[in-house]
Amino acid sequence: MKILIPVDNSSLNGDVSMSFGRTPYFLVYDLETNESKFVLNEAANSQGGAGIKAAQYIVDLGANILITPRLGENAAEIILAAGIKIKKAHALSAENNIQAFVKNELSDLIDIHAGFHGHH
C-alpha cells in the first residue's frame, strides 16, 4: 500500500507541505516494505492548474492513500475518482504522520476548498 505525502524537503522528518499542488516533493512510502522515496513535483512550476497536475501525478504513481493538510476541489475530484483515500495531515513531520496513520489516528480530510482558479 502506497502512502503519498506532500513534503517541503526530501527527508522523513521534514515538514509536511501546506500546499498540495505546489509542494516541492512528494514522499512515496510503501507500507509493506517500509521503503520511502522522494519524487520531485513537476506540477509546482505550472502556470495554472497545479493541483490538477499534481493529482494526476500521484494517481499515476499508484498512490492508495494521500495524507495532506489541505486540498483543492479540482485535485480532490481526480483523487477521489481514482479511489485514493484522503487523510488530514497533522502539523508535524512526514514520519509522524505515517505513524499516526498506522495507529489510525488520522481523520478523513473533509474540508476541501474551492479551486484556486489558475487562469485569466
Residues that bind another protein (CB under 8 A): 18-19, 43, 46-50, 52-53, 55-56, 59, 72, 74, 77-78, 81-83, 113-120
Could you write out the DSSP letters of every residue in 1-20?
-EEEEEESSSSTTSBBPS-S
C-beta of 36 vs 90, nearer to another protein: 90
Residue 23: CB atoms within 10 Å: 22
C-beta of 36 vs 118, nearer to another protein: 118
- Cα 14 from Cα 120, distance rounded (Å): 35
Minimum CB distance to another protein, residue 77 (Å): 7
Minimum CB distance to another protein, residue 59 (Å): 6
Q: Half-sphere exposure of residue 97, counting CA atoms within 13 Å on the CB side?
A: 30
Minimum CB distance to another protein, residue 43 (Å): 7
